[in-house]
Structure 1
Amino acid sequence: MRQRTRRAAASLACCAALLGTSAATTAPTAAVPAAPAHGHDPARGTLPAGDGWASAAGGTTGGAAAGRENVRTVRTWDQFRAALAAGGGEPQIIRVVGTIDAQAAGCAAYEAPGYDFDTYLADYDPAVWGYDTPVSGPQEDARAASAARQAAAVQAYVPSDTTVVGVGRNAGITGAGLQIRDADNVIVRNLTLESPLDCFPQWDPTDGERGAWNSEYDAAVVHNSTHVWLDHNTFTDGRHPDSSLPRHYGELYQQHDGELDVVRGADLVTVSWNVFEEHAKTLMIGNSDAAGGTDRGRLRVTLHHNLFRDVGERAPRVRFGQVDTYNNHYVITEGSYSYSFGIGFESRLVAEKNSFRLPPGTGPDRILKKWSEAPLTADHNTVNGTVTDLVAAHNAANPDTPLQRDAGWTPTLRTRVDDPRAVPGVVVPRAGAGRLR
């Protein structure tokens, strides 16, 4: 049934694309409004033909073919998780109304017997424990048990052939981790996703020279899944930015992980017209240099017309994948900025016609960071309105660790390409939740 319904929906999408969109191309076109979903109901929208990697190999239709009995409207976290599980393997649409809070119960609700944070701090104080040995013992065991309780409560698993869509301008989910895991053909649109707040970060005294607090939970994870379209969402730390978090042992008590991860064999993903804002470790594609067995030849991801606003790093960081990053707008105004594009193990990043706005004192050499020897293509990008050779800027500032040019492939799955000088005016007013047309 899944293959039949996907083929039918894909055929409709293809016909609509021939009538209403241009052919995939790498050549620049005049700025035009964002391509709408096919049909009048965003919940029935399908990815346009040629729109990034998720349009390859049959395309992405999500739950567009769902029968009326498999269209559900939810307003609470319990309703949302129940709806995800109710599809029975058939295409389904889940419409989110208002803001759903997955952590309304508060952190105390997840605490395992025996866990006490003040005792945890006393037991593992570096003055007592030192920096040479990972933490262990009753309080670490109780912390891990508490973390497992929170994970079970705040993570939701999105199955194959599903569309999750926000209704109207103010739909969202806070404190949750959307898991698109071992699935195929998933669409998530028009949601404000406030990052989960890890109630039980782990202290690792061996992380760096002075140790670090490490947290779990991303707002969304694409894990060993294919044909995934994430469109017109806003990823944010919302009420709990890093600046609001305390410090313990002299280090930030980090309660956030990433905003979006695409990992562990995930493939054919398009990320379009989203906002990623005010976050440190933002978007990771490929989670380990040792994952070649699952990731090599996969992790094909397109990022286009997204707004990255005051994000510190990983926008994205790439391992293995053929990643097409074009027509995104990066705005850095304050805070701790490390880099935007992370060039990782066996990556093949193409970064073209993106726009960067950097503050005084921050040069274009900061945009690229070399983690491993891997070639990239970075052409026709602008920095503060001026076309800038990002590879040359990096290499001039880092002569001992130069980057190599030419990713070795040419993207073809693009429905529109804007002049990078026009990108701010196109992306800023149209990207993010509540702006789906």
Structure 2
Amino acid sequence: MKYPVLVAGMLLASSAHAAPIDAKTLVGASTPLQVAQYGVRNYSPPVLVGGLHDPASYAAAPKLPAWQFAAADPTGGVLTFERNPAPATGWHAQSRKGAVLVTGGGSAIANRIYTVYNGQQLVAAINQAGNDPKIIRVIGHIDLRWSQNNTVFREYTSYSDQKYGGSIALPSNTTLVGINDAQGRPARITGTALLIGGELPLTTGGDPEADFKKWIADGKDGEDYPTWTRNVIVRNLVIDTPWDVNPEDADNAYADGLTVSRAQNIYLDHLTISDGDTPDSLATGTYDTRHDGALDVVRGSDYVTVSNSYFGKHHKTTLVGNGDSGRAWSDEGRLHVTFSGNWWDGATTRLPLNRFGQVHLFNNLITGSTSTKDTDVKFESGTDARYRSNMLLENQYYNIAGLKLDDFCGKAIKGKSFIGFRSSGHVFVSDKSGTNLVDGQCGYAQPGAANLWLPPYGYTLQSATATLTSVPANAGAGKLK
């Protein structure tokens, strides 16, 4: 079924007839560059930070992957999909100014096209190009714990060392893509967090919340507040969520696999994200939570699409909005996110969890088990509509062993404190219940007329049954066509 382009009720400009805006034109001179502090190791010892990150919690990663370093480009440097803009389907292609063409670094000139084989080369390319349109092609295995052309390995030594030395910040107008190596393996990032944007004050030493609120109180447009990172494409990468060597406390780790924070017009496609070789079950003692999110969209970010991606073996998997009423100043009316064609497979919670966001999920596949004894992949909860969220779920396929049909609503699809929730067209399969079509609201009341909305972009809606075949064939790194 092909849906027409419609205008949502979130003060969006009409885009039915106007040519889309190239997202790179939305990147102004004041767009922040916060890359210099990241990717540089400090090897500091573990210390308490604000009463958190107890040095006694320090533990190096208990297992390392089989490295797949590369030193040559099997394509000979010939570009194929790297210059392609993002498609028009998804929230990433919208803005309050009208429809947007997310180009990333597609218009990069020759000296802004990079092929990198290690973490230091990746950081150097970002620092050299800044906000210029840039294409960065990753081949092999990236891990910032390795240095000197992947010949010297040293584990992170503290929270501070990992936070800064173990993170890579992507600035505006970036296309970051993995290129399959000579053995056909997709590029892989381990032990390294990817950051897109950050919540920043207007000036050094300022307060992000106070500065933004004053900006609005002065009658200025929040879209012009000069701390947005915009126009980023990330595709075809395996991302192993980092093992936190020095977590906040017994229940909370720090680093995500990929964090979108105060960023707009972001397209994330054909990613594979999981705990890789270091699931939480390898943690011992009091500090047994060693991972935070797999992919989080937070802190006022807006117009983001996550498509054709695979999420597995992870707790706290996908998060939209990281707080309740205390985040209204940044998140109210933002966090427009699309999830389509994704496969959550053995991911245990947050598929996704949503606060404040106007989120559209369609044709995703969710597989797992509530009866397995493997805590790394045991299904605990799926889509979770939380505080002031407004969600539309269409034609999802759920295959969850051990889950009874009577428990489907409230376990795989649940919510509280949302302002809108619509859910229909799903198929649920379980060894406990057989095959059942679950249609309607999963027990949740229809939202009021003011909160009804339709996506402002055209999209082709498959049946849930078709999703069972199409998603495994297409989702994840290495399958980009």
Q: TM exceeds 0.5?
A: yes
Task: Give the whole-Å Cα distance in 1 for the aligned partners of 2:378 and 2:416.
Answer: 19
1:199 corresponds to: 245
Matched, 1:292 2:292: no
- Structure (1 or 2) with the greater helix fraction: 1
CA pair 242-295 structure 1, distance change in 2 beyond 3 A: same
2:196 corresponds to: 180
2:362 corresponds to: 326
Superposed displacement of residue 373, structure 1: 4.1
Task: Give the whole-Å Cα distance in 2 for the aligned partners of 1:195 and 1:332.
Answer: 20
2:85 corresponds to: 46
SS at match of 2:470: helix
2:142 corresponds to: 100
Letter of the 1:53 counterpart: W
1:343 corresponds to: 385
CA contact (8 A) 2:315 2:347 kept: yes
1:377 corresponds to: 422
Task: Give the whole-Å Cα distance in 1 for the aligned partners of 2:468 and 2:23.
Answer: 38
Identify which of 452, 456, 465 aligns with 1:421.
Answer: 465
Letter of the 2:83 counterpart: R
Which TM-score applies when normalising by structure 1?
0.76
1:386-405 superposed matches below 5 A: 386-389=436-439, 391-392=441-442, 395=443, 403-405=444-446
Matched, 1:435 2:476: no
- Any idea what the Cα deviations from partners look like across 1:391-429, whole Å, max 9, x if unmatched? 43xx4xxxxxxx322451112424321111110100001
CA contact (8 A) 1:367 1:390 kept: no
Task: Give the whole-Å Cα distance in 2 for the aligned partners of 1:296 and 1:339.
Answer: 25
CA contact (8 A) 2:338 2:360 kept: yes
Task: Give the whole-Å Cα distance in 1 for the aligned partners of 2:116 and 2:23.
Answer: 24
Matched, 1:301 2:337: yes
Which TM-score applies when normalising by structure 2?
0.69
Q: Which consecutive unaligned segments of at least 5 residues does structure 2 have?
A: 1-20, 27-77, 198-227, 430-434
Superposed displacement of residue 4, structure 1: 7.3
CA pair 98-355 structure 1, distance change in 2 beyond 3 A: same
CA contact (8 A) 2:23 2:103 kept: no
Which portions of structure 1, spanning 4 or more consecutive aligned residues, are displaced by more than 4 angstroms?
105-109
CA contact (8 A) 1:265 1:298 kept: yes
CA contact (8 A) 1:107 1:199 kept: no
Computed over aligned residues only, the root mean square deviation of the Cα atoms, in angstroms, reads 2.2
1:58-69 superposed matches below 5 A: 58-69=100-111
Using the aligned pairs only, state the percent identity: 33
Letter of the 1:423 counterpart: T
Matched, 1:239 2:277: yes
Letter of the 1:320 counterpart: F
Superposed displacement of residue 7, structure 1: 6.2
Identify which of 296, 308, 314 aligns with 2:350.
Answer: 314
1:282 corresponds to: 317
- Structure 1 window deviating more from structure 2 (221-230 vs 173-182): it is 173-182
CA contact (8 A) 1:197 1:256 kept: yes
Q: How many residues align?
A: 350
- Any idea what the Cα deviations from partners look like across 1:135-170, whole Å, max 9, x if unmatched? xxxxxxxxxxx2112111111110100000001242
CA contact (8 A) 1:231 1:273 kept: yes
Superposed displacement of residue 73, structure 1: 0.6
CA contact (8 A) 2:394 2:426 kept: yes
1:246-285 superposed matches below 5 A: 246=284, 248-249=285-286, 253-285=288-320
- Structure 1 window deviating more from structure 2 (166-175 vs 308-317): it is 166-175
Letter of the 2:339 counterpart: L
